Structure 1
Amino acid sequence: MVDKERRKRLAYHMRQLSVGTISNDGFESDILDDISHGWLPEQYYRSNYAKTDDPVILPILEVCWGLYDDTRNHKLKGPDQLSAESLKVIARCILFLHTELEYEWPAFDTKSPIFSFSLVDFLVCLLTLGQNFRKRRKAQLIAYKAFKKTSDFDYWPFFRKSEYDNHLTRQPFLSKHPTD
């Protein structure tokens, strides 16, 4: 399911955050109001909405959350400015959000395995001097490598390079004929 309106609002907020027009706290406030039904980006996966939502919303919110330090209020300018590589990823995300393409990538849990540990897991981790955690982390890295091989990962969130190339010719911002 493609939710065009929320995609456009998310793209707008991402643009504002990435160029330093708004602070990270302003971004989170806007996301709470417009996108995530009151959930912070790093917690949205817990909501019931995330299970039935446009599938691209959750992974893009996870990408956004990794862009800033959420322990302080700041804009992504000066020493907090995004790297050129991060800006490329954000630009692809924004471009994707302005398409009507279905998100085709499989779900992937980007959270550290420690967040899914039970009390027993923590005890086992302590007794094995962290071996339990290292084993789960290694399994997650192997799964991540397999995830990247699913398709053209260099063009994520687009599933195929051809889709990305096609939509580059129909950019919604710098063309004479903007898309709807």
Structure 2
Amino acid sequence: MIDRESRNKLAELIRHLVAGIITNDEFEDALPQSKDDAVWEVFHHGVWCLYSDMKEYKLRGKEALSNEERSVVARWILFLKSDIEYKWPSARFRDRFLNSISFGAFGQSTLEKWQEHSELAYWPFTDIAQYNKAKLGKGYLGAKNT
């Protein structure tokens, strides 16, 4: 299920966070609630990894993202702006819990589950073809399809 309103809101919040317009706390306070898996997964496995929640700050100056990080974030935003269903699997809670308490000896992490599933370099897209189609279709990272 695609929740266009929540995806658009998250995409805008991510842009404001990365541009240093809002703080990490303001970002988290404004997160949309949604049943769209893409909204939760892009936040949890993507954006949340960009900052520390131990203090409030903006991603400016020494806290600013590198060009490489911005490129990855642009891919997340493109996905949120697409009408593509999120298809990546998650490891079950039990497996994630066992994996974390056993330092990887038991269970399975979500990353391990993903490595079995598809091309990690294009997450949250499943592969390069899906990514390229979205670029052409929306005109965000490439030529607009006319």
TM range (shorter): 0.7 to 0.9
Q: Which runs of 4+ in 1 moved over 2 A?
A: 83-86, 135-146, 170-178
Would you say the 8 A contact 1:95–1:167 is kept in 2? yes
Pick closer, same or farther for the CA change 1:91–1:140 going to 2, 3 Å: farther
Deviation at 1:148, TM superposition (A): 1.8
Would you say the 8 A contact 2:135–2:142 is kept in 1? no
2:74 pairs with 1:91: yes
- TM (norm. structure 1) is 0.67
- TM (norm. structure 2) is 0.81
Deviations 1:28-50 (A, max 9, x none): 2221xxx03xxxxxxxxxxxx6x
2:23 pairs with 1:23: yes
Deviations 1:125-173 (A, max 9, x none): xxxxxxx93x353445666334223112110000121010111123354
Please list every run of 5 or more consecutive structure 2 residues that lacks an aligned counterpart in the other structure. Answer: none
Map of 2:51 onto structure 1: 68
Query: How many pairs align?
Result: 142
State the one-letter code of the partner of 2:116.
K
Deviations 1:92-130 (A, max 9, x none): 1100000111111112479xx6xx58xxxxxxxxxxxxx
Would you say the 8 A contact 2:17–2:59 is kept in 1? yes
Percent of residue pairs identical? 30
Within 5 A, what are the aligned runs for 1:1-180? Answer: 1-31=1-31, 35-36=32-33, 53-62=35-44, 63-108=46-91, 116=97, 133=101, 135-139=102-106, 144-173=111-140
RMSD: 2.9
State the one-letter code of the partner of 1:55.
D
Would you say the 8 A contact 1:17–1:27 is kept in 2? yes
